[in-house]
Amino acid sequence: MVVLITGGAKSGKSTFAEKYAAKLGTKGIYIATSPVFDEELQERVRLHQQRRDMSAIGWETIEESYELNAVLRDLAGNKELWETGTVVLVDCLILWLSNWLLRYEQDRAVERIDEQLTLLEQTLRNFPGTLLLVSNEVGYGIVPDYPLGRNFRDLAGIMNQRMAAVSDRVFLVTAGIPIELKSREFTI
């Protein structure tokens, strides 16, 4: 089962994802996509780790800023994980996307990120276990006045749509309240 959990900054997405993981499984693998490049971010990471340490589920952390597809494919091939009730949580797709965007900024960024998203879609379609993906909704604000910001906003929206399409469940978290969207989807 693949679950997308999205919402605004500090909306409670990660906390909900961790609690939901504990409800779904007995062990957890936390894939952290953010590089830690300053003291403030280091403190955020510490608080996230502290919260996971107090969880009912035991967490193993994998730090991977770029090769998310490879990590997920490796985990998918480990049958023992799925037999022991392991849940995989990726936090966060938006940071993974921004890592690639900054890497490719001057070199066909949109095209190359589209390739990464296609690979991720394929990985998700074949994922044998329970996978929770945390992402952000970034398109509710103003249109950025610089190309990199517009590319980021547009790619984030496209990525979230594509990940939602291959997910079994999609939650929007606002003010700490998760709402399941896919069961409420209106189809034309």
User: Could you give the residue numbers annotated as active site?
Assistant: 48
Are the C-beta atoms of residues 33 and 69 closer than 8 Å to each other? no
3 state DSSP class of 143:
coil
Which of 137, 186, 187 lies closest to 9, judged by CA?
137
Name the residue with tokens 């609690």. Answer: 19
Other beta carbons within 10 angstroms of residue 88's beta carbon come to 26
- Packing angle between helix 13-24 and helix 39-53, nearest 10 degrees? 30
Q: How crowded is residue 53: how many other Cβ atoms within 10 Å of its Cβ?
A: 9
SS3 57: coil
Q: Which residues are CB-contacts of 19 (< 8 A; sequence separation ≥ 6)?
A: 55
Torsion angles phi and psi, residue 2, rounded to 5: -110, 130
Task: Read off φ and ψ for residue 128, nearest 5 degrees.
Answer: -85, -15
